[in-house]
Amino acid sequence: MKFLDEAKVYIRSGDGGAGAVSFRREKFIEFGGPDGGDGGRGGDVWVEAVNGLNTLIDFRYQQHYKAKTGTHGMGRNRTGANGEEVTMKVPVGTQILEEDGETLIVDLVREGQRFRLAAGGNGGFGNAHFKSSTNQAPTWANPGLEGEEKTIWLRLKLIADAGLVGLPNAGKSTFLATVTRARPKIANYPFTTLHPNLGVATIDGREFVLADIPGLIEGAHEGVGIGDRFLGHVERTRVLLHLVSAQEEKVGKAYKTVRHELDAYGGDLIGKPEIVALSQIDTLDEKERKKKAKELEKACGRPPMLLSAATGEGMTDALRALRDIIVASSGGDTALPDRSVPVQDDVEDEE
């Protein structure tokens, strides 16, 4: 299985075109003088953050980004054309790292943010450029400068206001699908979510971005299961909604497993504001509800919210609770101000 939140890409900017060696030739004009034009600049390689993407899947198919070479200069002082640039379009939240996978080159956090990863080589000077009082007819020109080449890593850390965490089958995808237009895959087997999904939730006229992170299991931070690869996405949320399925035999243990993984991952995930909810509450009768809610309360230290995506019970309260924390932690603003909101519709899961 290949994960889509990291990709290795080779980039190369265009070489500059060579300068030309040429002399003006016209009837009745002897020694017309040098008129070799300069070469064009090579194309740059850019990266740009765009909305509407939430995986790096495209980079699995296209791993080479090469800009075009500048054309050579020509006689009659004609400058070569600049090489065409290329722009890699990446989801908002993509970080670009050096080949070592650690050194950050740029973190693209806003829609429309652009960064030049490799500059095209300058075009060479044509011989007209070298004309001087002592040499009226230079017979040389510069070659163009070479473009830059390098290998880089792209790493996606989605930017969402709230993140859904929980064990596989906790009901995260269902929650997201119920409160937003996102249509993640839902099935009652674990790990239906193979990459994070984003959706926009609206509550009392306010919008915020919600991310569904694939299920975490014990050992996730060590690479067991698939959740650990996605914990990075949680790093950038303001609040977590931690869902514990009412169908878990031991809800306290389920809660603690996820907390442990968040803690082990580091990056202060454990310190993020968290709302705890017992999900799929419609599957329990009154007596069981009380029992499981108590059990979960014991584990998390406060009464959990009770909700059901199936019946809608508690859903509005959960959204309001999330919104309140988002608003409080962002000085009144929800989604980042200069980011229009990415909405995701059908996205295929990857093998």
Chain residues that interact with ligand GTP, rule: CB under 6 A:
166, 168-174, 186-188, 190-193, 214-215, 279-280, 282-283, 308-310
Closest distance of CB 245 from ligand GTP, Å = 7
CB closer to ligand GTP, 282 vs 297: 282
Phi, psi of 12 (to 5 degrees): -150, 125
CA angle 28, 31, 32 (to 5 degrees): 75
Contacts of residue 291, Cβ cutoff 8 Å, sequence gap at least 6: none
Q: Are strands 86-91 and 45-50 parallel, antiparallel or unpaired?
A: parallel
Closest distance of CB 183 from ligand GTP, Å = 12
CB closer to ligand GTP, 94 vs 308: 308
Residue 230 to residue 21: CA distance in whole angstroms: 57
- Helical residues (DSSP H) of 119-196, grouped into ranges: 172-179
- DSSP assigned state of 265: H
Residue 348 to residue 75: CA distance in whole angstroms: 54
Cα 333 from chain centroid (whole Å)? 22
CB closer to ligand GTP, 103 vs 316: 316
Closest distance of CB 177 from ligand GTP, Å = 7
Closest distance of CB 169 from ligand GTP, Å = 4
Contact 280, 246 (CB under 8 A): yes
Is 190 one of the annotated binding-site residues? no
Closest distance of CB 217 from ligand GTP, Å = 9
Is 279 one of the annotated binding-site residues? yes
CB closer to ligand GTP, 95 vs 280: 280
CB closer to ligand GTP, 113 vs 245: 245
Closest distance of CB 290 from ligand GTP, Å = 18
Is 194 one of the annotated binding-site residues? yes
Residue 45 to residue 66: CA distance in whole angstroms: 7
Closest distance of CB 308 from ligand GTP, Å = 4
Beta bridge partners of 207: 202
Is 212 one of the annotated binding-site residues? yes
CB closer to ligand GTP, 61 vs 189: 189
CB closer to ligand GTP, 32 vs 312: 312
Torsion over CA: 246, 324, 92, 117 (sign): negative
- Helical residues (DSSP H) of the chain, grouped into ranges: 58-61, 172-179, 228-234, 251-265, 286-300, 315-329
Q: Which residue has the tokens 């693209």?
A: 108
* Residue 47: C-alpha distances to residues 43, 105, 125, 139, 248 (Å): 13, 11, 29, 40, 44
- Residue 71 gets the label, from left (phi > 0), alpha (psi -120 to 50) or beta, of beta
Binding-site residues for Mg(2+), in ranges, read 173, 193
Return binding residues for GTP.
Answer: 166-173, 191-195, 212-215, 279-282, 308-310
For the annotated binding site, the residues are: 166-173, 191-195, 212-215, 279-282, 308-310
